[in-house]
Structure 1
Amino acid sequence: MSGGEGAIRDVVIVGGGTAGWMMAAAAARYLDDGQRRITLIESDAIGTVGVGEATIPPILNFNALLGIDERDFVKATQASFKLGIEFVGWGRSGDRYIHPFGTYGRDIHGVAFHQLWRKFAGRPGVGPIDDYAMSIAAARAGRFAHPTADPRDPRSQLAYAYHFDAGLYAAFLRDYAERDGVSRVEGRIADVERDAASGDVRAVQLDDGRRIEGELWIDCSGFRSLLLGETMGVPFVDWSHWLPCDRAWAVPCARVDPLLPYTRSTARPAGWQWRIPLQHRTGNGHVFSSGFMTEETALDLLLANLDDAPAGDPRMLRFTAGRRAEPWRGNVVALGLAAGFLEPLESTSIHLVQHGIQLLFALFPDRRFTAVERAEYNRLMTAQFDAIRDFIILHYHATERRGEPFWDHVRTMPIPDTLAAKIALFREKGRVFRYDDELFAVPNWTAVMLGQGIVPRTHDPIADSLDDDRVLAMMVAHRRNCNAAAAVMPTHAAFIENLLHEGPVVRALGPHRNNDR
């Protein structure tokens, strides 16, 4: 990428961690034209949030864009593979369902599979919709394999992401970025200097007196939002009235076999507990609302529900759900926690960083920083945040748990009009529409709606145009083929062992299909 006299030459990233080093690695690959300087400022004295991270399929796109070899990545980050998320106790206490990556069944002549399933759901032998997802069949069996390219093979419908250690991922990307020319500056920012006329950030001064100038500033300073929030004054839009969880305890324990290829989210009296299986350990955490449970009780509940003894000291994270009103103001763009926070229920934090980076590259400014580019970035990023917000609220609102103050509150609270409309449309005839390239697609909304008891009143009438016997035969065959394919896959642990030590080098796959997420 090169430019004329107005081209930006100095890009400064404030803060490291996952967000900062993702930006640095991508900038090193796509912005460094030999004339542009990319600098990252971070202080070893300031800790990062990083705990075990779960991701969603677009992470494959990001790794592929950087040319990262999957074997190297899995080895360096102690990664495992992820086929979806199991939700335990979210609809009713004791219920469980898996929100899979990939699709359900096969669409026929443009009719979505879940419409066909809804039409025949009452027939003997049809069973739950989970029986028709290849990713669920493999997850339940504790097995994993890469998707195939043959559309006749049910394994072609697999989609996957990763679990990995966020600290190791940041270190992996740091090594990548520094090899490609990113300059890391160790130090704590003591003061921010702004241009008197425009109000843009001109330079920062470190606590040892060094002064660093920049033209484009990327704020990855975490919840503090040093540049966008504190300096530029962009207000925070608080969503705690819809998402009241505001605390999380995190603690690792030993790896437990079998190594499961999915994340687990278990509903608790005032929130939920995560379980993320990595190669070397299991990541655990308890997200809860301090308005309904004390920190001490929440920690006791987490420790009582671990697979093994804690392998470290529990860490407390305090947060407020929401986002900055504008992720880009002046010459400052915020990524990660500096731009906003949504609890990790659907593993979207890293995706929002990735999406922000890709949008910034698509709308990369020159030194004029035109309002039209900034406005489009803000429109698309806030739309992405808002759509993910609605999807997370759905999990809380669509519950049949009763007699527990927290769950009674979230079940009956007012919800955004955008979500209410989506639920009403699905409840009538199972229809789902996506807007503004929102992240979650038809299979995702279908998984959570059906998994938590929102069953359409009837099916889309267009499904009646298909031959019933043919459709039922297809459904029976697909379920049988999914189970058969899962049975011959290697176990998840065996797949990783083979990838790391014996198998051929496998590079991260290319762009994911929309219906994968």
Structure 2
Amino acid sequence: MRIVIVGGGSAGWMAAAALGRVIGDQWTIELVESDAIGTVGVGEATIPAIRRFNELIGIDEAEFVRRTQGSFKLGIEFVGWHGGEDSRYLHAFGQVGRDLGLIPFHHYWLQARARGAAERLERYSQSGTAAWANRFMREEALPGTPLGSATYAYHFDAGLYAAFLREIAEGLGVVRHEGRISTVHHDGESGHVAVVELEDGRRVAGDLFVDCSGFVSLLLGQTMGVDFVDWSEWLPMDRALAVPCESVEPVTPFTRSTARAAGWQWRIPLQHRIGNGHVYCSDFISDDEAAAVLLANLDGKPLADPRPLRFTTGRRREFWRGNVVALGLSSGFLEPLESTSIHLVQSGLQHLIDLLPNGGIDPVDVAKFNDKLVFEYERIRDFIILHYYANDRDGAFWQRCREMRVPDTLAEKIALFRGNGRIFRTADELFTELGWLQVMVGQGIVPRSHHPLADKPGNANIDLYLAGIRDLVQAKVDRMPDHRAYLNQLSETPTEVFA
């Protein structure tokens, strides 16, 4: 069997490295890309699943952080999304509190909160408390405490990551072809893609093609004719501007998302610079105004002119048709509010590996692949919509978001939580109950009540239980070094290099 990956960037080289590691000794794996075609990657924030991917392909974490100018990420800080311009909350990774008896921690927290006796959710989260203290370490949990092991992800330079992955993939035997594709040839009998022909006449044949061609979706969209499902009804942002700026201290171990008049601004701290961007809806703000907002809110001197991106939020109706599987932007686009773009590539790869054909391509496997990816895209979509829908900001854009009719799957989540604080995770959807909890609370959704069993211990015992968790969290965080100091220790690189 021959696998041909069309397109490089993070998606293409993630596919090449993963497939090279898993099946490179059995199948031929080739990648076609052109240096003349730019990639969208401008700096990436990720979620903890990226650690599993790096482990799969054998990346040493310290080398990864050095090679990509990376930093650690404990969650996402949301500024100004609900409660005023200076309001902030964290969607922190990992454990929040500790469940007690038959019900989750958050019901006891809601019980105490109704009495004015609970602190912010972040105070019961190791990642949340450490993030706002600018501290980090990978140390395992303290024995005998309710705290879990450190849960974290990374910020990194996407271009450096792709180059690192290319090095790994080529070391595993993946063959790279440089050049633009001029023609895609079909098999006349099956309708499958048979060959991609480059402008200089070279032909690359394959049995399975992985489309990582970006927004153009050369194989899945253009060649196989899979149409696009538009979600701009719920997520109307259609443009972004990205610009790096000089680094400043501290190097925060979290991504920041700051609400703006017609969208939001990201901040991704790397070792050598800060990645920034403004995601916005062009119906409510001009490109020049959006650029002015972005440049006026940088922490350091800009290192380039803002780079424009245009997009439509949504997905391909199918992710696998015939012998073409799409990954990354060629399969769909969900804005980076919750840092899910790299994860969706990783998830698609995992499902592809699970369903790799043995001989011919089985339509049953294709259908299962599509079902899994449709489910994942739609549930991530709902989670992102939640941030916009549950807002109390002024302005026409935010009013439009508050007044939209959300998908039924999201409406049910909100109604269950608004009633008695109940959160149920459906199947293997990406975001856990704790993720939904932090965002719904942060966006101002207050349940009318809590589970009746949360009253059973009595107020005094609940207060002791919450205080005990808070104090254990704080004690663990107090033992952590400063994030920059930890990065310097890991990379054995003096701070002056990045000052």
TM-score by length of 1: 0.93
> SS state of the match for residue 38, structure 1?
strand
More displaced stretch, 119-128 vs 462-471: 462-471
Deviation at 1:132, TM superposition (A): 1.0
Alignment of 1:40-55 (within 5 A): 40-55=31-46
Q: Quote the residue 1:65 is aligned against.
A: 56
Q: Quote the residue 1:6 is aligned against.
A: none
Q: 1:170 and 2:170 equivalent?
A: no
Question: Pick from 53, 57, 76: which aligns with 1:85?
Answer: 76
Distance 2:387 2:290 in 1: 20
Q: Quote the residue 2:184 is aligned against.
A: 192
Distance 2:357 2:424 in 1: 32
Distance 2:417 2:213 in 1: 39
Question: Pick from 457, 463, 469: which aligns with 1:472?
Answer: 463
Deviation at 1:455, TM superposition (A): 1.0
Q: Quote the residue 2:497 is aligned against.
A: none
Q: Quote the residue 2:11 is aligned against.
A: 19
Q: Quote the residue 1:418 is aligned against.
A: 409
> SS state of the match for residue 476, structure 1?
helix
Distance 1:77 1:152 in 2: 36
Distance change (3 Å), C-alpha of 1:151 and 1:424: farther
Q: Quote the residue 1:452 is aligned against.
A: 443
Q: What is the RMSD computed on CA atoms of the aligned residues? A: 1.3
Deviation at 1:265, TM superposition (A): 0.2
Q: 1:330 and 2:326 equivalent?
A: no
Deviation at 1:296, TM superposition (A): 0.6
Q: 1:105 and 2:110 equivalent?
A: no
Question: Pick from 397, 400, 421: which aligns with 2:392?
Answer: 400
Equivalent pair of 1:141/1:487 in contact (CA under 8 Å) = no
> SS state of the match for residue 121, structure 1?
helix
Distance change (3 Å), C-alpha of 1:372 and 1:305: same
> SS state of the match for residue 192, structure 1?
strand
Alignment of 1:188-267 (within 5 A): 188-267=180-259
Equivalent pair of 2:112/2:462 in contact (CA under 8 Å) = no
Distance 1:346 1:30 in 2: 29
> SS state of the match for residue 358, structure 1?
helix
Q: 1:367 and 2:359 equivalent?
A: yes
Per-residue CA distance 1:407-456 (angstroms, 9 max, x = gap):
00011111101100110011111111122300000000000000010011
Deviation at 1:311, TM superposition (A): 0.8
Equivalent pair of 1:144/1:495 in contact (CA under 8 Å) = yes
Distance change (3 Å), C-alpha of 1:172 and 1:154: farther
Q: Quote the residue 1:511 is aligned against.
A: none
Distance 2:4 2:57 in 1: 20
Structure 1 stretches of 5 or more lacking a match?
1-8, 503-517
Deviation at 1:289, TM superposition (A): 0.4
Distance 1:361 1:109 in 2: 39
One-letter amino acid matched to 1:449:
M
Distance 1:110 1:353 in 2: 36
Deviation at 1:315, TM superposition (A): 0.5
Q: Quote the residue 2:124 is aligned against.
A: 132
One-letter amino acid matched to 1:91:
H
Distance 1:290 1:261 in 2: 31
Per-residue CA distance 1:69-107 (angstroms, 9 max, x = gap):
001100000000000000001113221101100121111
More displaced stretch, 154-163 vs 169-178: 154-163
> SS state of the match for residue 156, structure 1?
coil
One-letter amino acid matched to 1:451:
G
Q: 1:183 and 2:151 equivalent?
A: no
Q: Quote the residue 1:357 is aligned against.
A: 349
Equivalent pair of 2:75/2:152 in contact (CA under 8 Å) = yes
Deviation at 1:359, TM superposition (A): 0.5
Deviation at 1:487, TM superposition (A): 2.0
Distance 1:226 1:17 in 2: 15
Instruction: Give 4+ residue runs of structure 1 displaced > 6 Å after superposition.
Output: none
Q: 1:272 and 2:242 equivalent?
A: no
Equivalent pair of 1:147/1:159 in contact (CA under 8 Å) = no
Per-residue CA distance 1:12-61 (angstroms, 9 max, x = gap):
0000000000000001100112x411000000000000111000000011
* Percent of aligned pairs with the same amino acid: 57
Q: 1:287 and 2:279 equivalent?
A: yes
Distance 2:59 2:491 in 1: 15
> SS state of the match for residue 19, structure 1?
helix
One-letter amino acid matched to 2:330:
A
Distance 2:406 2:24 in 1: 44
- The alignment covers a number of residue pairs equal to 492
More displaced stretch, 465-474 vs 228-237: 465-474
Deviation at 1:310, TM superposition (A): 0.4
Deviation at 1:198, TM superposition (A): 1.3
> SS state of the match for residue 40, structure 1?
strand
One-letter amino acid matched to 1:105:
G
